[in-house]
Amino acid sequence: MAQRAIREYDGKAIFSKHWENYFSGFRYGFKSVLVTSGDDLRVKAQEHGFEWLKQEALVAKPDMLFGKRGKNDLVLFRTAKPGDVTLEEAAKWIDEKIAHETILLTGQKGTLTHFIVEPFTPHSQDQEYYISATTVGEDDVLYLSAEGGMEVEEGWEEKVNEVTIPITMDDANIEHLIRSNVPAGIPEENKERFIAFAEQFYKFYRDQNFAYLEINPIVMVGNDMHILDLVARLDDTAGFMMGDAWCGAEFPTAFGMEDQSPEEKAIALADSKSGASLKLTILNPMGRIWTMVAGGGASVVYADTIADLSGNVSDLANYGEYSGGPTTGETQFYAETVLDLMTRHKDPKGRDKILIIGGAIANFTDVAKTFTGIIQAFEVYAERMKAHNTRIYVRRGGPNYEKGLKDIKEAADRLGLYIEVYGPETHVTDIVRMALEK
Amino acid sequence: MSALFTKDTQAIFWNNNASAIQRMLDYDYVINRTKPSVAAIVAPTSGNKFEKFFYGPDEIMVPVYRNTAEAAAAFPNADVLLNFASFRTAYDVTMEAIAIKGQFRSVMVTAEGIPERLARKMNQAARDAGVIVIGPATVGGIAPGAFKIANVGGTIENIINSKLHRAGSCGLVTRSGGLFNELSNIIAINADGIAEGVAIGGDRFVGSVFIDNLLRMESNPEVKYMVLLGEVGGTEEYKVIEAVKSGLIKKPIIAWCIGTIAKHFSSGVQFGHAGASANADAETAAYKNTAMAEAGMFVPASFNDLPKTIADVYAKLTSEGIIKEIVEPALRTVPKVRRKKEFICTISDDRGDEATYAGYPISSVATPETGFGIGDVISLLWFKKRYPKWATDYLETVIKTVADHGPAVSGAHNAKVTARAGKDVISSLVTGLLTIGPRFGGAIDDAAKYFKYANDRGMSPAEFIDYMKKEGKTISGIGHRIKSVRNPDLRVSGLKKYAAEHFPSTPLLDFALEVEKLTTSKKDNLILNVDGTIGILMVDMWRALGYSETDIDGFIDAGALNAFFVVGRSIGFIGHILDEKRLGMPMYRHPTDDILYNVEYADEI
């Protein structure tokens, strides 16, 4: 739960839904479609209300959270000259893009799946402006510039006015503040319009619980506003208050992040159904060191320590945690998932696998009870664990920890697994050092 | 002001989180606190007036209120609010608490995932009001040996192992709540424990940040050095760096930021809390660790070396004589097996040498020279305190006034009929008492209830009469069969005279007399009758004694007014029963010629 990015299309849909409530006096057409293939676009063009797809010159670009699409040559707005892209050309271009992997200038790679298609808006550079809002420290900051597009990014310090708006400021003072900070470069005939739009933009950003909202560029043609490019993040903790104000916007994973594996999805599903917390991220399925750590903070320090002491972060196979008093069944499921992943690939260098069952001193989680779930998973995976020369290192404290440690030691011994167990007298991450030194 | 909590600190606990409250009270008992650390519970949907908890081997009652304002009014010294509301309501609960001027010094917010904009507003409002917010998304904090928030520290065994039962010399500030225990343990093993510790919370926007807590610890003479456990993301550690560089903080700080792992992965993996993601180089854990070391803080090479750094700093401060040896305090132990009590008694106690009424031994109230009358005994056993003489005299006046009203009224008649059927005193008395209700004797209750209702809502006498008409109810306490304005009821005159002379004020009676003016202008016998006068004056008495309107409504709802009638009229009933026994009257059978029979013979049999 945090600030989460949404698609450009969804951001524009939210603008459109609330336009009349905020931007009175301005017009916004919201001519945008979100498609996943050329055929998808062709079908859309047959729908009532989307005739413009066949009638107007189009712009197509991926809508997958990453920026710098122009520099990555991923904006289709011309074939021979700007503003001559037809429906069929856009559809073909999309099909071509989804057919193979795309590598961005940043090195991120993945397959493009979502595209936003809009009418081409002919305009001149001097009609482009920049506006964005976000939170800096405890305050909101509104950024305004008379120049939009790539130009603003290249001369940020000189070209952008920053308007810092404290959280408790009232509307009258906000309006006054924005008015007195309007960029000097805005032409006189557009000044009042720009001020009015900026005020409304800020209130829209604030009331709709955006964490970040940027239009670059926004093109003003009289009272017609063209949102050419939009980046937005929502504060998803506010979701419960927003009803359908967010138009059902989804929170896609970042481009280049491999989709979650079935195991990660299964743990996420179990997490969503449980009062406890179960998290799993696979960092390197071939990794040698697997962790099963109780508690969010502890899971971080184990990951830190493994990276510090192993000298090679690719040794760390996974990151995750279980906490908040999971049931024995939930712990068993979590443990089996990790053990299954751990025993799929032999270490390429033939080294032992290391399983870290770590945790800080629990507040009130019954350690013996959660260890029962782990022991049950051992029973199922003991042979496979032995086949991978697994060494188990346990460190835990909290209610009933003596019994928990004794139980897990006995079970491992009985199953013929290598195990070392430690309690609160041993430093929480010291088992990582022990495991790596052996 | 320098210490966050003291041994006298008391909290109001918002939400009846029974297990967390019990852990606080267990801690209180173990460390020999004189007062429990939880003064009251706020539970908006609870119908209970109190909850029972163990305090050592015994049970105590913690009062429950429906809202924070009421709890605060009852416990003006409780200056900590433990806000255990969900992320949906935690903001409103905090804002309500901040609005109660001068009450709360700190508010701890446990909810995780409060909308960021609301969290920012809440934090700012608290800062403006001078209230310290701990959290959101935290387990809280502890001042060992003085006050422990909710679940901090875990089990009693762990608390003692981690030396959280008495003040040590370290000030601990962490972001993570889960590692708070662990750090306490590390500090206990490698030094002498902590003097004060706060987990500031894992959300992006938290109320009190590292610097707020460290500055307070700097000014707290109990704290000799600090341990700061930061996290990847945010820039709060830099405020600490500035304070160290500028000399604002002089005590040694041992610092570490967790999340050094994050540099190895793209922004897609969220390591740790919502607040934990680096938006710039300066927000990475490694960068912050380097900057803190450069500022002169003690920064280990890795988290795994933190214990050694703590041991080194502690050894240095001890050798310099800055840290002295701690005398371990004597502790009490909480029994392993405790049994909940089935019954509660708050009015009398028969366990000592002599039984007591509300703390007064019976011998101290029984005989004439004690100065206690039956009114005093009633005030002790019914209302748990001794009323002043004007009030106990009034209670006795009421009992005397209602003791009997002749043999014809239904209760007395029933008692007489039963006695003539050969039944004993108790059976006969009970048949009489069972008659008392809405039509017989109940007017006292209803008069008090309705007149008070109208008066509480500021109705005028005319509006009240209209209101009762609309409700389709006759006005209880108004009207008499025979008596009228010209032929007044002397019992009423006597009560009014007594009240005028002895009550500090009689606002409800004054209101009722205005109502009577209107009703008697319509019909001469619609006077304020004896039942009405008794009930209304009882409300005036309670008001003058300082009870809240809620308390008085509680008395009325519980049937306390009826109870006066029961006690008084029992005297009369018993008189009638004894009279029957004395006269030896035969079995009573009602004459058939006094009954209208209206029963058709069945058509077919």
CA B326 to chain CA centroid, nearest Å? 37
Task: Please tell me the pTM assigned to this model.
Answer: 0.83
pLDDT band at A158 (very low <50, low <70, confident <90, very high): confident
Q: Flag whether pLDDT at B82 surpasses 70.
A: yes
Would an 8 Å CB–CB cutoff place B138 in contact with chain A? no
Q: Which residue in the set A235, A254, A397 is minimally distant from B116, CB to CB?
A: A235
Would an 8 Å CB–CB cutoff place B140 in contact with chain A? no
Catalytic residue among B273, B413, B502, B590: B273
Confidence at residue B72, expressed as pLDDT on a 0 to 100 scale: 97
Across the range A339-361, mean pLDDT stands at 95
Identify from A164, A300, A319 which residue to disrupt to test chain B contact, counting B C-beta atoms within 10 A and taking the largest count: A300
pLDDT band at A108 (very low <50, low <70, confident <90, very high): confident
With pLDDT > 70 as the criterion, what percentage of chain A qualifies? 99
Confidence at residue B208, expressed as pLDDT on a 0 to 100 scale: 95
Q: How many helices (H) and strands (E) does chain A have?
A: 15, 18
Q: Give chain B's mean pLDDT.
A: 93
Q: Flag whether pLDDT at B2 surpasses 80.
A: no
Confidence at residue A107, expressed as pLDDT on a 0 to 100 scale: 82
| B210 within 8 A of B237, measured Cβ to Cβ | yes
With pLDDT > 90 as the criterion, what percentage of chain A qualifies? 81
Confidence at residue B268, expressed as pLDDT on a 0 to 100 scale: 58
B356-382 residue pLDDT tens:
999 999 999 999 999 999 999 999 999
pLDDT band at A351 (very low <50, low <70, confident <90, very high): very high
B90-106 residue pLDDT tens:
999 999 999 999 999 99
| B135 within 8 A of B207, measured Cβ to Cβ | yes
Across the range B512-532, mean pLDDT stands at 93
Residue B124 to residue B201: CA distance in whole angstroms = 16
ipTM score of the complex?
0.90
B44-54 residue pLDDT tens:
999 899 999 99
The residues near B545 (Cβ < 8 Å, ≥ 6 apart) are: B387, B388, B391
Q: How many CB atoms lie within 10 A of CB B351?
A: 6
Confidence at residue B266, expressed as pLDDT on a 0 to 100 scale: 64
B409-461 residue pLDDT tens:
999 999 999 999 999 999 999 999 999 987 888 789 899 999 999 999 999 99
Across the range A360-383, mean pLDDT stands at 93
B127-150 residue pLDDT tens:
999 999 999 999 999 999 999 999
Confidence at residue B275, expressed as pLDDT on a 0 to 100 scale: 54
Interfacial A residues in 357-416 facing B (CB < 8 Å): 360-364, 397-399
Q: Where are the beta strands (DSSP E) in B365-440?
A: none
Q: Flag whether pLDDT at B1 surpasses 60.
A: no
Alpha helix ranges (H) inside A344-415: 367-387, 401-415
Angle between helices B285-294 and B236-245 (to 10 degrees): 10
A249-262 residue pLDDT tens:
999 888 876 667 89
CATH topology of domain A262-437: Rossmann fold (3.40.50)
B70-79 residue pLDDT tens:
999 999 999 9
Confidence at residue B276, expressed as pLDDT on a 0 to 100 scale: 57
Q: Flag whether pLDDT at A1 surpasses 60.
A: no
Q: Which residue in the set A237, A300, A362 is minimally distant from B261, CB to CB?
A: A300
Domains detected in chain B? 11-319 (3.40.50.261), 410-583 (1.10.230.10)
Interchain CB distance below 8 Å, B204 and A3: yes
User: By three-state DSSP, how is residue B304 classified?
Assistant: helix
B253-286 residue pLDDT tens:
999 999 999 888 765 566 666 555 666 788 899 9
Interchain CB distance below 8 Å, A254 and B264: no
Q: From chain A, pick out residues whose CB is under 8 angstroms from the CB of B205.
A: 138
A382-414 residue pLDDT tens:
999 999 999 999 999 999 999 999 999 999 999
User: By three-state DSSP, how is residue B152 classified?
Assistant: coil
Q: Which residue in the set B117, B189, B272 is minimally distant from A297, CB to CB?
A: B272
Q: A258: nearest CA in chain B? A: B268
Confidence at residue B269, expressed as pLDDT on a 0 to 100 scale: 65
Q: Give chain A's mean pLDDT.
A: 93
Catalytic site residue B413? no
Which conformational region is residue B83 in: left (phi greater than 0), alpha (psi within -120 to 50 degrees), or beta? beta
